[in-house]
Amino acid sequence: MAVQFGLYTSMLQRALRLPDLELARPAIGRWVKTVLVFQTLVLLSTGAYVVAMASRHLHGVAWAAPAIGAVIGTALPLQLAVMSILRAGRR
């Protein structure tokens, strides 16, 4: 979550405060590309974790909890950023 917040504040927050959303469009594009790369890295690392643990896990599903938590934990801040973009678009 800290990485997501850092990306939002450094790349997007200042641009969303501009009076015209068209001026913020390049910053939104850069932010989307960066977040997609970050999300891809998270998904690749959680996939590697699942593959590595699938052959050695104990009975039950608790071994998958860290991977599920990582995916959900990185998706929630994205929703907050999208809400900020939508709010800026309504001005």
**What was the pLDDT predicted at 51?**
87
Report the alpha-carbon distance of residue 70 to residue 1 in Å, rounded. Answer: 9
Mean pLDDT score, 20-45: 92
Contact 32, 12 (CB under 8 A): no
If pLDDT is split at 50, 70 and 90, which confidence band does 32 have? very high
**What was the pLDDT predicted at 90?**
83
For the cut 90, the answer to whether the pLDDT of residue 29 exceeds it is: yes
For the cut 90, the answer to whether the pLDDT of residue 34 exceeds it is: yes
**What was the pLDDT predicted at 36?**
92
Neighbours of 53 (CB within 10 A): 14
Among 6, 5, 12, residue whose Cα is nearest residue 85:
12
What pTM does this model have? 0.79
Widest CA span in the chain:
56
Q: Render pLDDT for 35-67 as a digit per residue (tens, 0 to 9).
A: 999 999 999 999 999 888 887 766 777 888 899
